Amino acid sequence: MEPDFAEPGFFPLLTELLRWRRDVRHFRRDEIPEAELLELLRLAQLAPSVGLSQPWRFMRVRSDAARAAVRENFARCNADALGGYQGADAALYARLKLSGLDEAPVQLAVFCDGATGSGRGLGRRTMPEMAEYSVVTAVHTLWLAARAKGIGMGWVSILDPEGIAQALNVPEGWRLIAYLCLGRPAETHTVPELERVGWEHRHKLEEVLVDR
Amino acid sequence: MEPDFAEPGFFPLLTELLRWRRDVRHFRRDEIPEAELLELLRLAQLAPSVGLSQPWRFMRVRSDAARAAVRENFARCNADALGGYQGADAALYARLKLSGLDEAPVQLAVFCDGATGSGRGLGRRTMPEMAEYSVVTAVHTLWLAARAKGIGMGWVSILDPEGIAQALNVPEGWRLIAYLCLGRPAETHTVPELERVGWEHRHKLEEVLVDR
């Protein structure tokens, strides 16, 4: 039987959640209870995956050594990135807070196990990248579920993914898809930070829709 | 102010939606009103994107010629895929319905414009694949919003993506991320079809979670 998604109140709140999901980079330091985190990860496993291959692999990054390696990797990549901008762009970039690596109580590295036998290759023959895309839908599911529970998430991509995989000593063939910071947000917004500071504006639907 | 996601009833329904989202391959032929489709696409634009680059490009595939080219591309790739299985696997694969291309009233090709200047490269220097991942989150947002409105979606990946891009005459540099069928579902399930027919089973969290 179909759940009552038409119940008044559900769709408006779902819309609010999509609008409100925002990348979070300002975290409070209080811990997230283990049971709450595991519940969120179980929900992430409901994400779609090509051929039901479920290629997502979650790694909780907890040790001081592992976290320090990630912070160092980010600092290096972020300095390189800053060097690629000039003038006002460089000044604005330098002021952006682009990760919550120093404060976020929970940090997750999410990998794709492209060699998994699960799903027996179905749907991946002509588009092998579908395995990685499946992991992305799990990350996005986690993001929405966390946000609905008052937990903020930030996706850090200013990282050298091979360096991270090496530092975290991952099994052969795992590829880094996302490095995630989670924690209670120190502030919340429905407007993306990059829009607020004038780095980029939102597109209208007409700008991204064509017919054939 | 934070919307009331803690309102009793919201999280259980969100969980139901995640469980119930399922890839749909059996569609009724009735049309989806244009206004409803455009509302869903506007919601998809709320998806996260690296550097707010919003690299998603939606193409409604409507003409008979374009749809025939996609069907032909699928038939060829699906025959090739079938040839890669043996014995019982091949018999099971041959019985699976792997697309709703013949019936789905709405078909969308979703591309990534990797050359977009939007976002000014932020977050894509070391992980350029973040642009494609951003498009995946838009597809997943569309999927959830559609499902909450009683519209089913199926993601067809048994396609040669370059052949599709050529047949649909897309602008230079657009890469196919997803070919989507949308319509009212002819049947609904909370258990994935590939699980029901015994192609694959669901993993437990313990199987995909490690600590460092």
Q: Which residues pair with A6 in a beta bridge?
A: none
Q: Are A20 and A190 in contact (CB under 8 A)?
A: yes
How is the beta sheet containing B106-113 ordered, strand by strand? A209-211, B56-60, B106-113, B174-183, B152-156
Q: Between B4, B51, B209, which is nearest A194 by CB?
A: B51
Q: What 3-state DSSP class applies to B42?
A: helix
Contacting residues of B for A42, CB less than 8 Å apart: 205
Residues contacting residue B170 through CB under 8 Å, at least 6 positions apart: B59, B109, B111, B176
Q: Whole-angstrom Cα distance, residue A51 to residue A131?
A: 9
Q: What is the pLDDT of residues B74-131, one digit of tens each?
A: 999 999 999 999 999 999 999 999 999 999 999 999 999 999 999 999 999 999 999 9
Q: What is the pLDDT of residues B41-67, one digit of tens each?
A: 999 999 999 999 999 999 999 999 999
Nearest CA in chain B to A99: B123
Interchain pair B202, A118: CB under 8 A: no
- Please list the ranges in chain A whose pLDDT falls under 70: 1
- Given this model, what pLDDT does residue B132 score? 98
Nearest CA in chain B to A174: B208
- Given this model, what pLDDT does residue A1 score? 60
**Region of residue A78 (left: phi > 0; alpha: psi -120 to 50; beta: else):** alpha
Nearest CA in chain B to A201: B52
Q: Which CATH superfamily is domain A22-201 in?
A: NADH Oxidase (3.40.109.10)
DSSP state at residue A17? H
Q: Which of A72, A136, A149, A160 is best to mutate for the B interface (most B CBs within 10 A)? A: A136
Contacting residues of A for B194, CB less than 8 Å apart: 51-52, 119, 122
Strand locations in A51-126 (E): 56-60, 106-113
Q: Whole-angstrom Cα distance, residue A132 to residue A50?
A: 9
Q: What distance in Å separates residue B31's CA from the closest CA in chain A?
A: 16
Q: Whole-angstrom Cα distance, residue A206 to residue A208?
A: 6
Q: Which of B4, B7, B14 is best to mutate for the A interface (most A CBs within 10 A)? A: B14
H-state helical runs in B97-151 = 130-148
Could you tell me how many CB contacts below 8 A there are between chain A and chain B? 272
Please give the radius of gyration of chain B, using alpha carbons only, rounded to the nearest integer. Answer: 19
Q: What is the pLDDT of residues B123-174, one digit of tens each?
A: 999 999 999 999 999 999 999 999 999 999 999 999 999 999 999 999 999 9
pLDDT over 90 (residue B181): yes
Contacting residues of A for B131, CB less than 8 Å apart: none
Q: Are B40 and B106 in contact (CB under 8 A)?
A: no
- Given this model, what pLDDT does residue B1 score? 60
Q: What distance in Å separates residue A164's CA from the closest CA in chain B?
A: 12
- Given this model, what pLDDT does residue A189 score? 84
Q: Which residues pair with A210 in a beta bridge?
A: B59
- Given this model, what pLDDT does residue A36 score? 97
Contacting residues of A for B17, CB less than 8 Å apart: 3, 5, 14
ipTM: 0.96
Percent of chain B predicted with pLDDT > 70: 99
H-state helical runs in chain B = 10-20, 34-44, 64-83, 87-95, 130-148, 161-167, 193-196
Q: Which of A11, A46, A174 is best to mutate for the B interface (most B CBs within 10 A)? A: A46
Q: Whole-angstrom Cα distance, residue A47 to residue B30?
A: 27
Q: What 3-state DSSP class applies to B155?
A: strand
Contacting residues of B for A132, CB less than 8 Å apart: 129, 133
